[in-house]
Amino acid sequence: MMENLQVAEYRRITVTPIAGSLGAEIAGADDPLDLADLDDEQVAEIRAAWLAHLVVFFRGQGHLTNETYLGFAKRLGQPVEYPFVRGFDGFPEIIAVAKLPHETVNFGGIWHSDTTYLGEPPAATMLLAREIPPAGGDTMYANQYAAYNTLSDGLKAVLDGLRGVASSALADVSKTREDRIKDAGDPDANRVLEASHPVVRTHPETGRPALYVNIAHTARFDGWTDAESKPLLQFLFEHQVKPEFTVRFAWEPGSLALWDNRCVQHNPVNDYHGFRREMHRITLAGDTPK
């Protein structure tokens, strides 16, 4: 059975769920919400809504500058730099996630949790839409609490004792970074990063279990061969993005998304060839998955 979303009372914001499993749009309770000018109560309510709905969306934030965008991020956590693409001058924590009209591959265009090949993957990711194609370019998100909770008790017992090895070098995701690395890559962009994490992690703030493997980065189970790992991983990769676990968000210029990388996967849909799409991304520091 799918779990019900937490219902909360909000005084300073409105929270409108947009799918049954996860996702909500946040707006101001009385006036338009300006993420550059929030008081502490609004920040606390945004954080509560984010933890309850896993990914939250804000419209009409195109006025944010690099400085005020980073300022909003700092109200929620500690921005960190991405290991493969340099950020903007003066704002190294903000990177451009772009696909140009002549390109056919989009950055990160595969289901994944961000940078799970790090020992401490980010807790959260933020995207601010700067330029959007006339149609297409949506992003899909998947609830990994629900993915775990709907497994059988027998499979849960197996997974609870396993760790997954995540690598930055898997071919299907590596090719999605190539264009941006050529534009603004780190000099050490060809290095391989690996980390071992629990296949089922416990969220450090909610205490809830979430499935924590992903097709982009998880290469094998720790202590297993690739061949031994492949059948079970393939089942999990298909299971964890079933339609009933997902929400699909249609961007507008100035839309901003904030998602919980500890219990959410995402996939930017690559259906807008011939048009430019540019987003600005910030990730917030996380902890060692347990």
Catalytic residue positions, numbered: 112, 114, 266, 281
C-alpha distances in Å from residue 193, one per residue of 76, 136, 211, 286? 27, 32, 21, 17
CB atoms within 10 A of CB 11: 9
Query: Tokens at residue 24, please?
Result: 């909500």
Q: Are 172 and 135 in contact (CB under 8 A)?
A: no
Q: Are 246 and 117 in contact (CB under 8 A)?
A: no
Q: Are 141 and 264 in contact (CB under 8 A)?
A: yes
CB atoms within 10 A of CB 96: 17
Closest CA to 70 of 281, 287, 286: 281
Q: Are 123 and 261 in contact (CB under 8 A)?
A: yes
Query: Tokens at residue 87, please?
Result: 């950020």
Q: Are 141 and 54 in contact (CB under 8 A)?
A: yes
Tokens 């009933």 -> residue: 244
Q: Which residues pair with 198 in a beta bridge?
A: 163
Please state whether beta strands 246-249 and 209-211 pair in parallel, antiparallel, or not at all (unpaired): unpaired
